[in-house]
Structure 1
Amino acid sequence: MSAKVEVIKNKVLSENWFVLRNFTYDLTTKNGETIRHKREVYDRGDGATILLYHRQKNSVILTRQFRIATWLNGNDSGLLIEACAGLLDNDSPEECIRKEAIEETGYQVGKVEKLYDLYMSPGGVTERLHFFAAEYDDALRATAGGGVGDEDIDVMEVTFPQAWAMVKDGRIKDCKTVMLLQHALLEGWLTLN
């Protein structure tokens, strides 16, 4: 079933970093009624994220970096612990995540498993995020990581029980990271012991 939508207005409000648009549209409901909506939609492009995990060490590789949006919304330090991620730009999701893994964490990943792709904030952001997982090994560490350009990323290797404790006590507040950690637990890749 496809929604019946007629766009009345599509105005660009900002093209500074990404594109922010103001839409006015008529949506025909399932009972045939037409309702006018006005919404702002932020288009930042699609992205990819990956959980790097090590079964024998029962550990994961995470990153920590400053995120202005969290600082503006109650995160006093602005630092966010999260799984490696990045925007696709012109790459495929798998190409993107391989590039991001080496840039952010320093690990070259071998076989990656595509888990799913999800809209992370569909009320106002167009981004669809592609989720991956891959096993890492110390032998796959090619660089120190830390990002490129103006990125200032700390690379963290933590045990799965430590990561899970950080979710429970609020040190990990990033949705994609929590979802990936839950996936690893449900699949039995890692344990809480």
Structure 2
Amino acid sequence: MTAGIDVPDRRGRTGLDRHGRDLTGNPRVRILDVRVLSCDWYVLRRTTFDYRHDDGHWSREQRETYDRGDGATLLLHDASRGTVLLTRQFRLPAYVNGHPDGMLIEAAAGLLDGDTAEEAIRREAAEETGRTVGTVEHVFDVYMSPGSVTERLHFFAAPYENTTAPAEGTRGVADEGEDIEVLELPFPEALAMIRRGEIVDAKTIMLLQWAALEGPFKHISRRTVPPPPRHRCSGDGAAPAHRPGC
């Protein structure tokens, strides 16, 4: 008897080896076998499949997929004050892969855990920042690491008011080991932190760039971007033909 297959694993799941066996959306893919390699908390599977290439020949392939469920993330913004609300917390995977201290600055986020994406992001915003979220705007849905991780992340944005600021201190769910610092940053400073390598979390960078291009700060960000340098031309002011821009 195998946990997660014949008998429940520690999260009460069975039949984890059947996930993905019945896919029929792509006629170039024939699923042959799914093996569960680990189901301690999330699920690691190895799938064997046949794949038909553009020239018509078939090849047998194997891929490992890591299933941690889908998630949601939220950019909290105050357009009137030109600020965003982010968090800082320790991330072990980043720490073991070269980040100096593992303390990443991020937008609020979490797994759905059976909730809808909007329900989940309201829950995470309350747990991580202490804010109760009103109307949310759906931004886009993204596969963050499609080569190996099944997760689809739902992106949202929502305004917050400074009058709803919670008491100072760290936040998060203590039973889950969370120790989260809340950061309120001017939006131009948050963008500058991306350029300086101080914000390196993908979902946060995507939300901040969306906010600059299409979101609540598109007018602010355009004003704060310095103009391109002007070319200097020698002589009496005439523009030589071989000097573009002069």
TM-score with structure 2 length normalisation? 0.75
Structure having the higher Rg:
2
Asked if 1:14 is matched to 2:29, the reply is no
Give 1:147's match in structure 2, choosing from 139, 148, 172: 172
1:52 maps to which residue?
76
Aligned residues: CA RMSD: 1.6
Deviates more, 1:99-108 or 1:29-38: 29-38
1:78 maps to which residue?
102
2:191 maps to which residue?
164
Matched-pair identity in %: 52
Deviations 1:94-153 (A, max 9, x none): 000000000001111110001110100000000000000001102333565611121111
Give secondary structure in 1 for the equivalent of 2:188.
helix
Match for 2:172: what amino acid?
Answer: G
Deviations 1:63-88 (A, max 9, x none): 11111110111002011111000000
Deviates more, 1:64-73 or 1:4-13: 4-13
Give secondary structure in 1 for the equivalent of 2:212.
helix
Q: Does structure 2 retain, via aligned residues, the 8 Å contact 1:8–1:25?
A: yes
Give secondary structure in 2 for the equivalent of 1:182.
helix
Question: Which sections of structure 2, spanning at least 5 residues, go unmatched?
Answer: 1-24, 225-246
Separation in 2 of the partners of 1:28 and 1:174? 36
Query: More relative contact order in 1 or in 2 (CA 8 Å, sep 6+)?
Result: 1
Match for 2:120: what amino acid?
Answer: C
Give 1:68's match in structure 2, choosing from 74, 82, 92: 92
Q: Does structure 2 retain, via aligned residues, the 8 Å contact 1:63–1:105?
A: yes
2:240 maps to which residue?
none
Deviates more, 1:48-57 or 1:179-188: 179-188
Give secondary structure in 1 for the equivalent of 2:149.
coil
Deviations 1:11-64 (A, max 9, x none): 111111200011111112344321211111000000000000000111100011
Separation in 2 of the partners of 1:6 and 1:141? 53
2:203 maps to which residue?
176
2:146 maps to which residue?
122
Separation in 2 of the partners of 1:143 and 1:154? 12
Asked if 1:111 is matched to 2:138, the reply is no
Give secondary structure in 1 for the equivalent of 2:171.
coil
Q: Does structure 2 retain, via aligned residues, the 8 Å contact 1:110–1:134?
A: yes
Per-residue deviation, 1:4: 2.7
- The structure with the largest strand share of the pair is 1
User: Is the alpha carbon distance of 1:188 and 1:117 closer, same or farther for their aligned partners in structure 2, counting shifts above 3 Å?
Assistant: closer
User: Is the alpha carbon distance of 1:143 and 1:17 closer, same or farther for their aligned partners in structure 2, counting shifts above 3 Å?
Assistant: farther
1:25 maps to which residue?
49
Separation in 2 of the partners of 1:2 and 1:22? 19
Give 2:212's match in structure 1, choosing from 176, 185, 188: 185
Match for 1:165: what amino acid?
Answer: A
Give 1:95's match in structure 2, choosing from 119, 122, 127: 119
TM-score with structure 1 length normalisation? 0.94
User: Is the alpha carbon distance of 1:165 and 1:47 closer, same or farther for their aligned partners in structure 2, counting shifts above 3 Å?
Assistant: same
